[in-house]
Amino acid sequence: MEEERLGEMLLATPRLILRSWRPDDLETFAALNADPEVMRYLGAELSTEQATQLAEDIQERFLQRGFGMLPVERREDGVFLGICGINYTPWYPDEEIGWRFAGEHWGHGYATESAAAWMSWAFTELGVPRLISVTDAPNVRSIAVMKRLGMVFDHEADLEDDSESGGERFRAVVHSITAEQWRSGHV
């Protein structure tokens, strides 16, 4: 990874720091992407090389666009929990909000907390008119996060995963929220 903007804090919440990538994130990120339970609805597990390449690609997009699926760090001890952020999706013109956390950090509200911070930033700073979130239909944990964020069911679709693992088709559930809907819940 190039030195440019490594580890830069972008957003903070009471418990979390949302920041750009650092080289010391790569080992933990590789382990996250090799966990079959974490990757259950995200495509096949990634090798260390694939995870490293993904992190480098995300950092490069961050340098170009100023946002992306970036590391989430716990404030109290600096532990890398996973990633969260705003991302371009190949299926829709809308920006997508998403998250991926290590299994031992599930159930603590980190996905909701970090996604809410990114959502606020997207609507107030980036000026996006609408955000979506996409997951496999059986991924009830992510759907619950979407609902906690104030997102509403938009539609279901058959999509093809564009990962290096070979583009498997899956039944997706798409939730959305507009800037206007978000503002009405945050005034």
Kindly state whether residue 138 falls inside one of the protein's structural domains: yes
In CATH, what number is assigned to the domain containing residue 161? 3.40.630.30
pLDDT (tens place) for every residue of the chain, 187 residues total? 556 677 788 899 999 999 999 999 999 999 999 999 999 988 889 999 999 999 999 999 888 888 899 999 999 999 999 999 998 877 788 899 999 999 999 999 999 999 999 999 999 999 999 999 999 999 999 999 999 999 999 999 888 766 544 567 778 899 999 999 999 986 4
Q: What is the pLDDT of residue 43?
A: 81
d(CA 65, CA 119): 16
Residue 1 lies in a domain: no
pLDDT of 66 reads: 86
Count of domains for the chain: 1
57 inside domain: yes
**Which pLDDT score, from 0 to 100, does residue 154 have?**
95
In a domain, 157, yes or no: yes
Is 147 inside any structural domain?
Answer: yes
Q: Is 76 within a domain? A: yes
Give Cα separations from 147 to 32, 136, 142, 174 (angstroms).
Answer: 24, 15, 9, 11
pLDDT value of position 140: 94
* Structural domain includes residue 4: no
- Domain membership of residue 74 as a residue range: 9-185
Give me the pLDDT at residue 44, please: 85
Length of the chain in terms of residues written: 187
pTM, whole model, 2 decimals? 0.90
